[in-house]
Structure 1
Amino acid sequence: MYRHALKIFVIILSIVVLGSPLKKVCAQVDSDKGYKVEIIAENPYFSQKYLARLEGVFYQVYPKLVNDFNENSPRKVTITIDTTYDGVAYAHNGRVVISQGWLEKNPEDIDVVTHEVMHIVQAYPPRSGPGWLVEGIADYVRDKYGVNNTGANWSLPDLKEGQHYTNSYRIAARFLKWIELNKQKGIVKKLDVALRNKEYSDVIWVDNTKMTLDQLWDAYEKENIVIN
């Protein structure tokens, strides 16, 4: 009886003092490269084993993205598993927020981390370029660097009638992959740099491929290649 009463007192005290129940934190440092991720689960009963999986994705992917795209990216990232957020995930100022509900429904979708930390690496200033391209690059990166896309049943979709690059995300990512493979290798990195420096314009497509953006899309539709 005494122990039960003491436990209730501790829980109430944590709510009064901290404003919410104690959160579960998983934080590790890669001392060799200086990278650190702090993963905070707002639900104190969230699986520690699952947090470790997310942490593993970060350390497998993030250093590569920093090296390949933006060496000025922050070395410390915070990931919060949010119990109330009803979207999927978002990233801002070195912080990633992922919906607990999404992870519960899609437990193999651990590469949501890959997509979101790429947004941290992108670090594009406001009005740097079209939103479809920003998200298309992030999904292009997930396709290339992701560690469990197959397990999550995630892939770039086949080209279908009615699609357009402005549909963004995976549709735009597949288009970018086609350009990389068939028109100009390295264009995604060039686009990334241009967006970060606020130097993006439609001219970049002509300079690198001798075709306008819409001409590229027309050629892409005509070839209708299935990319694996």
Structure 2
Amino acid sequence: MRKIICIAVLMVTMVPALAQNREVIRKKGKTLIFTNDDPGLKKEVRSGLIKNFFKVYPKLVRDFNPRATDTVRVKIDTAYNGVAYAHNGKVTISSRWLEKKPGDTDVITHEVMHLVQAYPPDSGPGWLTEGIADYVRYVYGVDNEKAGWSLPAYEPGHHYENSYRITARFLVWLTENRNKDIVPLLDEHMRNKTYSPELWKTYTSKSLDDLWTMYQASPEL
């Protein structure tokens, strides 16, 4: 009997400690469920991630996909060895990455864009998916400079299929030189599974390869 009582007391004392790791924050019509498994996470990193979420996510929903989820779960994971990933309304961020790069609170900007994208399987090329997410980080990011994050200058050997920042820079160039709405247009086609390579010519009057050749000749932003 005493053993059962002791176990019950232990369980009761453990619950508040566990509950402290989970916060539910509601602002701007969005709900953030923030779970932190890392007791060593710096307060400024935690507050930076939350601030960036509420500054960026409502804008992304408005500008790209008003049907995106209003409730997002973010977890700081001590067991995950990568950087971050997003799936099914949830963002997982490595505590090790935040320890290494505490200024990289805009990692959440890239990841929540994946939730806004919500592309179905086989909707289009993966390099474009990641390129759009990094384009969004460049345009909507709160403090990329603090993270030491920027778009790389064009170099010989780069290709639009390199994905992430290299593709993102190409997308920025396209918005400045060919069609300011090219990214939202491609994003919508990807979400609706209507993407095709011919869309580049539809929206810019040039094929994708021709656009890349033009970019190589004059890649300045």
TM-score, with structure 2 as normaliser:
0.91
Report the equivalent of 1:27. 24
In structure 2, C-alpha distance between the alignment counterparts of 1:25 and 1:50, rounded to whole Å: 16
**SS of equivalent to 2:144:** coil
Report the equivalent of 2:3. none
The counterpart of 2:119, out of the listed 120, 124, 128, is 124
Runs of 4+ displaced beyond 6 Å: none
In structure 2, C-alpha distance between the alignment counterparts of 1:55 and 1:78, rounded to whole Å: 11
Report the equivalent of 2:148. 153
**SS of equivalent to 2:93:** strand
Q: Do the aligned partners of 1:137 and 1:188 also contact (CA within 8 Å) in 2?
A: yes
Q: Which amino acid aligns with 2:142?
A: V
C-alpha displacement at 1:222, in angstroms?
Answer: 0.8
C-alpha displacement at 1:117, in angstroms?
Answer: 0.3
Q: CA RMSD in A?
A: 2.1
**SS of equivalent to 1:98:** strand
1:86-109 Cα shifts (integer Å, max 9, x gaps): 110000011000000000000000
C-alpha displacement at 1:51, in angstroms?
Answer: 1.6
Q: Which amino acid aligns with 1:26?
A: E
Residue 178 in structure 1 maps to residue 173 in structure 2: yes
In structure 2, C-alpha distance between the alignment counterparts of 1:217 and 1:92, rounded to whole Å: 31
1:114-167 Cα shifts (integer Å, max 9, x gaps): 000000000000000000000000000000000010111111100001110111
Residue 100 in structure 1 maps to residue 81 in structure 2: no
Report the equivalent of 1:87. 82
In structure 2, C-alpha distance between the alignment counterparts of 1:70 and 1:21, rounded to whole Å: 34
Q: Where do 1:1-228 residues align within 5 Å? A: 10=10, 14=14, 24-30=21-27, 33-225=28-220, 227=221
C-alpha displacement at 1:45, in angstroms?
Answer: 4.6
**SS of equivalent to 2:171:** helix
In structure 2, C-alpha distance between the alignment counterparts of 1:143 and 1:68, rounded to whole Å: 15
TM-score, with structure 1 as normaliser:
0.88
**SS of equivalent to 1:109:** coil
Tell me how many residue pairs correspond in the alignment. Answer: 214
In structure 1, C-alpha distance between the alignment counterparts of 2:187 and 2:146, rounded to whole Å: 28
**SS of equivalent to 1:150:** helix
| Identity fraction in percent | 49
When residues 12 and 100 of structure 1 are mapped into structure 2, their CA distance, relative to the original with a 3 A threshold, is farther
